[in-house]
């Protein structure tokens, strides 16, 4: 039913996708699996069952939003006083490449960073939507 790291080979081809869009000053994330050409149906069904049973779409969405709160200062610095969305996208792509090198092409944060790098709305100040609320002490 579930993938086991010792017994199951997780394919190195991309099967995880994330859509990132801005809606009324909020970042909306949605993760899903897509069967790539050449992947056996049984392999994909095994992946999809694991994904669905563990509710990974919702977990990745929630963890992604939380993670981005911690990245807010770096995103704001990259945007800079000149408000440069290309620098934000570049920072996100570098992060995605780092995650992919260590975790592989389907790592949920790598996919998130690539999706955000491709979002003009997010890179051009939309990252303000992930700004964490000030902590009350």
Q: 118-136: per-residue pLDDT in tens?
A: 999 999 999 999 999 877 7
Collapsing DSSP to helix, strand or coil, 37 comes out as coil
Other CB atoms within 10 Å distance of the CB of residue 29 = 21
Convert the pLDDT of each residue in 35-91 to its tens digit.
Answer: 999 888 988 998 999 899 999 999 999 999 999 999 999 999 999 999 999 999 999
CA distance 111 to 97: 10
pLDDT score recorded for residue 36: 92
pTM for the whole thing? 0.89
């Amino acid at each position: 039913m579930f993938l086991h790291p010792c017994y199951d080979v997780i394919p190195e081809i991309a099967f995880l996708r994330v859509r990132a869009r801005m809606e009324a000053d909020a970042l909306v994330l949605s993760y899903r699996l897509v069967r790539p050409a050449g992947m056996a149906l049984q392999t994909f069904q095994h992946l999809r069952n694991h994904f669905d049973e563990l509710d990974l779409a919702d977990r990745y969405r929630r963890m992604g939003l939380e993670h981005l709160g911690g990245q807010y200062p770096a995103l704001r610095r990259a945007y800079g006083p000149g408000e440069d969305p290309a620098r934000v996208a570049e920072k996100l792509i570098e992060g995605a490449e780092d995650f992919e090198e260590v975790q592989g092409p389907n790592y949920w944060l790598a996919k998130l960073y690539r999706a955000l790098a491709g979002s003009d709305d997010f890179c051009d100040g939309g990252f303000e939507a992930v700004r964490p609320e000030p902590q009350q002490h």
